[in-house]
Amino acid sequence: MTMTRKFLLVADGSDESRMAAYFAARRARNTGGAVTILAVAEADGSGELWLGVGEAMRAEALTRAETALECLAEDVEEVTGARPEVILREGVMLDELRKLISEDDAIAILVLGAAPEGDGPGPLVAGLARGKGLFDERVIPVTVIPAGLTREQLKALA
């Protein structure tokens, strides 16, 4: 039995992630694939010294991650007609991304959006560019959607 190829997105609440989601959703729809969206709640542990502050920070991080996840899920579903797989984790983004790619053999392509030039490309894209890599044992292709492309341009590419 053939495994459905998954396009992996990272939900971070940015406009770039929404453009990456549009591209991934169109590619998945056009190629018979599926979309998986990862959101990671990254809470700063420095508030743990103060009673309740650490838990409040954790709750805020979870809320931000859930909101970003749901936003992208709705965008993807609008294009594909199917609810994407959504995954919410707590931890460090790069660590959780590596774990997910290692755990799920159906994930075939990571789709990232690059931030506009003045903002820098974003931490995951910057890590790729510096050669630090995003992967441990299992390497997959990465598609980077440059800032500034319109939906019509993405539609033509996907």
| Contact indicator for 14, 113 with CB cutoff of 8 Å | yes
Q: What span, in angstroms and rounded, lies between the C-alpha atoms of 64 and 51? A: 22
**Lookup: tokens for 108:** 């075939």
| Contact indicator for 100, 38 with CB cutoff of 8 Å | yes
Q: Looking at domain 6-157, which CATH architecture does it have?
A: 3-Layer(aba) Sandwich (3.40)
| Contact indicator for 90, 58 with CB cutoff of 8 Å | yes
Torsion sign over Cα 57, 58, 63, 68: positive
Per-residue confidence in pLDDT tens, the chain, 158 aa: 568 999 999 999 988 999 999 999 999 999 999 999 999 998 665 555 566 777 788 888 899 999 999 999 999 999 999 999 999 999 988 889 989 999 999 999 999 998 776 665 566 666 665 555 666 677 888 899 988 888 888 888 87
